Amino acid sequence: MTLESVSQMLGLVVVASPAVLLVALGVPLLAGLKLSEGVQAQLTKAAVVVGLLTSVAMLCLMLACGSRHVPIELGNWVFIEQEHFHFHLKFVFDRLSVPFVILSFVLCGTVGAFAAVYLHRERGYSRFFLLYALFLLGMVVSALAGTIETLFFGWELVGLSSALLVAYFHERPGPVRNGHRVWTTYRLADAAFLVAALTMHHLTGAGDFDGLMGSGPWPGGVAAIDPWSALAVGSLLLLAAAGKSGMVPFSGWLPRAMEGPTPSSAVFYGALSVHLGTYLLLRVSPLLDVSFSLRILVIILGLVSAILGTLASRVQSDVKNALAFASLTQVGIITIEIGLGLRYIALIHMIGHACLRTLQLLRAPSVLKDHQMLEDAVGQHLTGDDVNQPRTATGFRLALYRFALHRGYLDATLDDWIVRPFTLAFRWCDAMERRWTNLLSGGPSRESDRLSPYGDSLEDVA
């Protein structure tokens, strides 16, 4: 009995440490108190170290007593009898979640230490670390989620903090627009996720993953669900995963997310949050065993994303965009691996890729120096007019280059086929409303029409 209570304790601490960090950093900000940089860095360090140590202890404990599935029940937080709905907070430690949560702590910890120095004297230091804590909490909750509601909760925290971090430099228009785009894409993924959760709820009557995967511990579970339902729920979850991981057709947001300070790009979009989609697929992978068509869908999505990523990363002339597409390639490959049922390989690949990419992104400003050192070591120019002789490009090459340079035209396609009809529809509604109000008021009815969008006058520079 004591063994179980110890593991319950440990499990609680793992989840609680980022939550406590969030409160410790957030409440003083709300109260208008200014914590010094050192205090914030120390708090972050303490929370990450505690979280990391307890999750490692948990791993040891599980290895020692051979348990492969440790659920932590936190009970029903919302319970609506008539609708048969309960918000059930439950965390699960198993072979999938433990490595992923340890990875989150290691990478977040390293990046936290990096950012504590890198953002020294920065005006948004507190804001950065608050969002960081939010992100960490989101990562831990999603990694350990034992019910789909819990997963959605963590998933939302990750989405919110990611979008806000993309828009970290909010005094420039570019980051804000791109943050907005990331947010919109995430909402789309969330919608798919939510519909999937409802469908599942409808099918199984509970939001527990157990319903989808049978009761066996990961990855051995068997989903107790018929193939068509699996395909329906699975496709929705696939859409959600594609949005979150920047796979086709949502790849446009991934390079745009590189607007924030270097450490946040590194850990959040290069390493962790980009893998959240594939993590979700891994989590529900028993579904794939049920539906063969779903499996094919997953493989195709992964393949298309990987090919797009590898093409696009070849034409990027700047470090961060190139690494963003390189990440996409790997995420695509991991998705293929999941589709093929290579779950452990996918997990190892995911962890390895996250670590490597974090290192590469943190060292992104060294690219120039590395390039020089390489050329010195090799003793000749690796590229240049002498090395690359000009050759005439064929039409195919041009088309391929254009395709890559425009990142597969994905953004344009989404804008044309989804955003534009959407806004046109609402503009039409707006025009109708205006006609109606104008009719009622017997003249122009909107004051805002008469205001110019910028300032008082063109010359107003004082």
User: Which range in 186-194, 200-208, 375-383, 437-445 contacts other proteins by CB under 8 A?
Assistant: 375-383
Report 398-457 residues binding other proteins (CB under 8 A): 398-399, 401-406, 409, 411-413, 415-416, 420, 450-457
Alpha helix ranges (H) inside 66-172: 97-118, 125-144, 148-166
Query: What is the size of the binding site for other proteins (CB under 8 A)?
Result: 121
Identify the residue among 385, 440, 447, 448 touching other proteins (CB under 8 A): 385
Residue 366 touches other proteins, criterion: CB under 8 A: yes
Report 11-70 residues binding other proteins (CB under 8 A): none
Identify the residue among 352, 432, 435, 439 touching other proteins (CB under 8 A): 352
Q: How far apart are CA 334 and CA 338, in angstroms?
A: 6
Name which of 369 and 446 has its Cβ closer to other proteins.
369
207 φ, ψ (degrees, to nearest 5): -90, 5
Question: Using omega within 30 degrees of 0 as the cis cutoff, is the peptide bond preceding 249 cis?
Answer: yes
Token output for 268: 């959040």
Residue 372 touches other proteins, criterion: CB under 8 A: yes
Burial 287-308 (b: 16+ CB within 10 A, else e): bbbbbeebbebbbebbbbbbeb
Minimal distance, residue 220 CB to other proteins, in Å: 23
Minimal distance, residue 233 CB to other proteins, in Å: 29
Identify the residue among 23, 39, 296, 393 touching other proteins (CB under 8 A): 393
Name which of 75 and 341 has its Cβ closer to other proteins.
341
Minimal distance, residue 76 CB to other proteins, in Å: 38
Q: How far is CA 343 from the centre of its chain?
A: 20
Name which of 12 and 410 has its Cβ closer to other proteins.
410
Give SS3 for 391: coil
Minimal distance, residue 310 CB to other proteins, in Å: 4
Residue 102 touches other proteins, criterion: CB under 8 A: no
Report 113-152 residues binding other proteins (CB under 8 A): 113-122
Name which of 197 and 350 has its Cβ closer to other proteins.
350
192, 236 contact by CB (below 8 A): yes
Give SS3 for 184: helix
Q: What's the one-letter identity of residue 286?
A: P
Identify the residue among 31, 33, 64, 458 touching other proteins (CB under 8 A): 458
Identify the residue among 174, 216, 421, 444 touching other proteins (CB under 8 A): 174
Token output for 168: 């970290």
Q: How far apart are CA 343 and CA 281, in angstroms?
A: 10
Q: How far apart are CA 70 and CA 51, in angstroms?
A: 17
User: Which range in 54-62, 90-98, 233-241, 351-359 contacts other proteins by CB under 8 A?
Assistant: 351-359
Q: What's the one-letter identity of residue 296?
A: I
Identify the residue among 5, 82, 388, 448 touching other proteins (CB under 8 A): 388
Q: How far apart are CA 373 and CA 33, in angstroms?
A: 47
Minimal distance, residue 427 CB to other proteins, in Å: 10
Report 186-225 residues binding other proteins (CB under 8 A): none
Identify the residue among 134, 233, 319, 338 touching other proteins (CB under 8 A): 319
Token output for 310: 């590898």
Q: What's the one-letter identity of residue 94?
A: D
Identify the residue among 181, 256, 275, 283 touching other proteins (CB under 8 A): 256
Name which of 395 and 443 has its Cβ closer to other proteins.
395
363 φ, ψ (degrees, to nearest 5): -95, 10
Angle between helices 173-204 and 148-166 in degrees, nearest 10: 170
CB count in 10 Å sphere of residue 379: 6
Q: How far apart are CA 102 and CA 52, in angstroms?
A: 6
Q: What's the one-letter identity of residue 319?
A: V
Minimal distance, residue 281 CB to other proteins, in Å: 16
Identify the residue among 221, 321, 335, 339 touching other proteins (CB under 8 A): 321
Identify the residue among 143, 320, 338, 343 touching other proteins (CB under 8 A): 320
Residue 358 touches other proteins, criterion: CB under 8 A: yes
109, 295 contact by CB (below 8 A): no
User: Which range in 63-71, 137-145, 288-296, 389-397 contacts other proteins by CB under 8 A?
Assistant: 389-397
